[in-house]
């Protein structure tokens, strides 16, 4: 199938799942970050539980198109801290604001516009960031839990990891709606 059409169809499925599952809902995102309504966190952990098994089964048969992000620890931590501030301020992430905008939410449109500016600022200061956090120098540092544990077939790490994710989302994490701000 044509790559452009395939991308469009996968994206449409992705957008529909996020919309129907409530991931593009400000209250659901803030509810998760305030640790009151954990719907979105549990949705993410469940997706990871299924995705981990699915991807490593594909990998087991050698048919996965993996894309492992390189590790440059201090840069990744700083990036996550900055992203988290934006996550709480916006109540969307870079994908769910696209869905929010498609539902007619005007604040989601401003998140997209801010995002275009944030990405442009990053493009301008990239040389400084690259020097500070050694990003391109670590481009091939694609380590996973499987390489850390020195396991050749990732599926043997994926299965216990998936079970932990299921335990977290189905058993350990509990909602506390009563304390949710209105």
Partner 1 sequence: MSQEPVISWKTAGILLGLLLTFATYAYKPLGVSSQYVVTDGVIAHKIAPEKAEQNEYLAAKVGKNDWQIGSGWMLVFGMFLGGGIAAFATRRFHPKDESEIPSMWASKFGNSKGKRWFYAFLGGVFLLFGARLAGGCTSGHMISGISQLAISSLIFGVAIFASGIFTAKMLYRSKGVNNNG
| 160 counts as binding partner 1 under rule CB under 8 A | no
| 6 counts as binding partner 1 under rule CB under 8 A | yes
| 159 counts as binding partner 1 under rule CB under 8 A | no
Rounded least distance, CB 152 to partner 1, Å: 14
Structure tokens at 114: 């801010």
Determine which helix (DSSP H) or strand (DSSP E) holds 17, and give its type and residue range.
helix 3-21
Dihedral sign (CA 50, 56, 57, 59): positive
Q: Which residues, 28 to 87, sit near partner 1 by CB under 8 A?
A: 28, 30, 33-35, 39-58, 63-73, 75-87
| 167 counts as binding partner 1 under rule CB under 8 A | no
| 134 counts as binding partner 1 under rule CB under 8 A | no
| 117 counts as binding partner 1 under rule CB under 8 A | yes
Number of residues that bind partner 1 (CB under 8 A): 131
User: If you search the block for the tokens 């529909």, which residue do you land on?
Assistant: 16
Cβ burial, residue 117 (10 Å; 0-12/13-18/19+):
exposed
């Amino acid at each position: 199938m044509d790559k452009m059409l395939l991308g469009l169809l996968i994206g449409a499925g992705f957008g529909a799942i996020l919309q129907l599952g409530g991931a593009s809902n400000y209250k659901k995102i803030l509810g998760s970050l305030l640790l009151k309504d954990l719907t979105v966190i549990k949705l993410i952990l469940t997706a990871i539980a299924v995705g981990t098994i699915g991807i490593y089964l594909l990998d087991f048969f050698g048919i996965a198109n993996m894309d492992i992000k390189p590790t440059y620890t201090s840069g990744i931590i700083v990036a996550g801290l900055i992203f988290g501030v934006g996550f709480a301020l916006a109540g969307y992430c870079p994908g769910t604001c696209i869905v929010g905008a498609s539902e007619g939410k005007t604040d989601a449109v401003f998140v997209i516009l801010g995002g275009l500016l944030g990405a442009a600022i990053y493009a301008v200061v990239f040389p400084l960031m690259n020097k500070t956090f050694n990003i391109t120098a670590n481009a091939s540092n694609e380590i996973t839990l499987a390489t850390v544990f020195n396991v050749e077939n990732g599926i043997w790490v994926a299965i216990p990891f998936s079970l932990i994710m299921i335990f977290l989302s189905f058993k350990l994490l509990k909602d506390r709606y009563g304390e949710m701000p209105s």
